[in-house]
């Protein structure tokens, strides 16, 4: 097992253990509530439901190992309940402390602690829900970044790349909202429009929604895209063919030369997603094939859905790599501040310069994306699209 995978599994088991602890504490709190707040009958119902949600991780683990069938609604209940529990306890702990302080030292357990925990927890859970739902109705954040490269062809100076990722068009995204995204892309009018996968979420028809709303969009010199794991999970071995039919400008382990009006050239390389390898022998990442068209001296822009592939040869070959997949964890902030994805990914969201000697001056950009995975919740890490502008490094002196 690779170090990266071992770390991922450690965090995953830790997260599941935390889920069980939070559930256990929550059930203990309910049991400690005085009867006027929670009657015996209601407590019985709550305990029954509590035991069911505590079994959910076992179902999820077994379904990922294909011992039990995957049931989408169960994973949604798990994520939603985990969010509610987390928000509840973040509110309950300061709630208990504040009410204890306000009532002085005569407070006794369990009455005071239970009531105050319940009040604090419910208050913060409600506040976080309002915040997370608010992000669904506001336009996405436009992030603008300027990147400088040593020796950049002056004809590429000022070239703009609009990076979209993880639209998940069928999951919690109404068509009106998708049309808002499309309108913003038109207004920004980038030179290159780059899409790094997970456009569909879990239904074949979502390819048609992409075709209707997004396929008419184009960068001034080109539009390029790669597949994500969700395209493969949904469309399996037909993913590339179906998405191309819907007007998805796919690069699958291949490259394309884009030329600016001034004659500057950008070699765009698209790397296929590892999820493809589960379905067809010619799917999944093939760096040799993808990079075979690259010529010496070209400026190379790489697209790859999962940022974990940004290492070694890809990092050395591409001046700029665009990625998505993480959603920035949907909760938290861009690094250096924490977010849920930073528990699992070294590059969770934002811009990362390479520190390896063979690829100094090269960058990875990870988009937190526009859509949702699991539950329609984003707190702090709101939906985003990023406009990147290329410039040559200014000469010293």
Q: Which residues bind Fe ion (CB under 5 A)?
A: 198, 228-229, 325
We find the least distance from the C-beta atom of residue 165 to Fe ion, in angstroms, to be 9
Hey, is 8 helix, strand or coil? helix
We find the least distance from the C-beta atom of residue 253 to Fe ion, in angstroms, to be 18
CA distance 195 to 303: 8
Sign of CA pseudo-dihedral 298, 304, 310, 313: negative
CA distance 188 to 160: 9
The encoded tokens of residue 274 equal 């590892």
CB 275 within 8 A of CB 233: yes
CB closer to Fe ion out of 144 and 202: 202
We find the least distance from the C-beta atom of residue 120 to Fe ion, in angstroms, to be 35
The encoded tokens of residue 198 equal 């997970």
Of all helices (H) and strands (E), which one includes residue 273?
none
CA distance 197 to 218: 16
Q: Which single residue brings its beta carbon nearest to Fe ion?
A: 325
**Cβ neighbours of 66 (radius 10 Å):** 8
CB closer to Fe ion out of 86 and 374: 374
Look at residues 27, 31, 24, 21 and name the one whose alpha carbon lies nearest to residue 111: 31
The encoded tokens of residue 229 equal 């794991």
We find the least distance from the C-beta atom of residue 325 to Fe ion, in angstroms, to be 4
Of all helices (H) and strands (E), which one includes residue 196?
none
We find the least distance from the C-beta atom of residue 295 to Fe ion, in angstroms, to be 31
Pairing of strands 160-164, 384-392: antiparallel
CB closer to Fe ion out of 229 and 253: 229
Look at residues 381, 382, 331, 370 and name the one whose alpha carbon lies nearest to residue 135: 382
We find the least distance from the C-beta atom of residue 35 to Fe ion, in angstroms, to be 48
We find the least distance from the C-beta atom of residue 209 to Fe ion, in angstroms, to be 18
We find the least distance from the C-beta atom of residue 305 to Fe ion, in angstroms, to be 6
CA distance 124 to 120: 6
> What are residue 260's phi and psi, to 5 degrees?
-75, 165
CB 125 within 8 A of CB 88: yes
CB closer to Fe ion out of 267 and 305: 305
CB closer to Fe ion out of 85 and 314: 314
CB closer to Fe ion out of 191 and 198: 198
CB closer to Fe ion out of 83 and 345: 345
DSSP states of 109-145: TTHHHHHHHHHHHHHHHHHHHHHHHHHHHSPPEEEEE
CB closer to Fe ion out of 85 and 341: 341
């Amino acid at each position: 097992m690779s170090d990266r995978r071992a770390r991922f599994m450690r965090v995953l088991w830790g997260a599941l253990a935390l889920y069980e602890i939070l559930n256990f504490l929550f059930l203990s709190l309910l049991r400690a509530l005085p009867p006027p707040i929670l009657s015996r009958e209601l407590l019985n119902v709550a305990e029954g439901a509590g035991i069911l949600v505590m079994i959910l991780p076992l179902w999820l683990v077994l379904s990922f190992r294909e011992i039990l069938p995957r049931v989408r609604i169960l994973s949604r209940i798990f994520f939603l309940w985990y969010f509610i529990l987390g928000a509840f306890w973040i509110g309950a702990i300061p709630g208990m402390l504040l009410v204890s302080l306000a009532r002085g030292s005569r407070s006794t357990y369990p009455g005071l602690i239970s009531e105050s925990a319940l009040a604090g927890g419910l208050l913060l859970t409600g506040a976080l829900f309002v915040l997370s739902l608010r992000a669904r109705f506001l336009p996405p954040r436009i992030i603008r970044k300027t990147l400088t490269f040593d020796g950049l062809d002056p004809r590429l100076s000022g070239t703009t790349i609009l990076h979209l990722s993880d639209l998940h068009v069928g999951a919690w995204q109404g068509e009106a909202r998708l049309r808002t995204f499309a309108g913003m892309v038109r207004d920004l009018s980038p030179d290159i429009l780059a899409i790094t996968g997970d456009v569909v979420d879990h239904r074949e028809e979502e390819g048609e929604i992409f075709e209707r709303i997004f396929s008419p969009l184009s960068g001034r010199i080109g539009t390029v895209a790669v597949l994500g794991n969700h395209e493969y999970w949904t469309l399996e071995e037909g993913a590339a063919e179906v998405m191309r039919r819907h007007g998805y400008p796919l690069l699958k382990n291949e490259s394309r030369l884009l030329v600016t009006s001034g004659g500057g050239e950008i070699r765009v390389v698209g790397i296929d997603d590892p999820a493809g390898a589960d379905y067809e022998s010619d799917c999944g990442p093939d760096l040799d094939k993808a990079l075979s068209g690259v010529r010496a001296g070209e400026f190379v822009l790489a697209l790859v859905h999962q940022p974990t592939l940004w290492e070694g040869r890809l990092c050395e070959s591409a001046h700029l790599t665009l990625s998505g997949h993480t959603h920035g964890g949907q909760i938290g902030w861009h690094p250096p501040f924490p977010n849920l994805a930073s528990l699992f990914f070294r590059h969770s969201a934002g811009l990362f310069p390479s520190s390896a000697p063979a690829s100094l001056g090269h960058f990875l950009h990870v988009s937190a994306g526009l859509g949702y995975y699991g539950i329609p919740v984003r707190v702090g890490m709101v939906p985003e699209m990023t406009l990147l502008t290329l410039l040559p490094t200014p000469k010293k002196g």
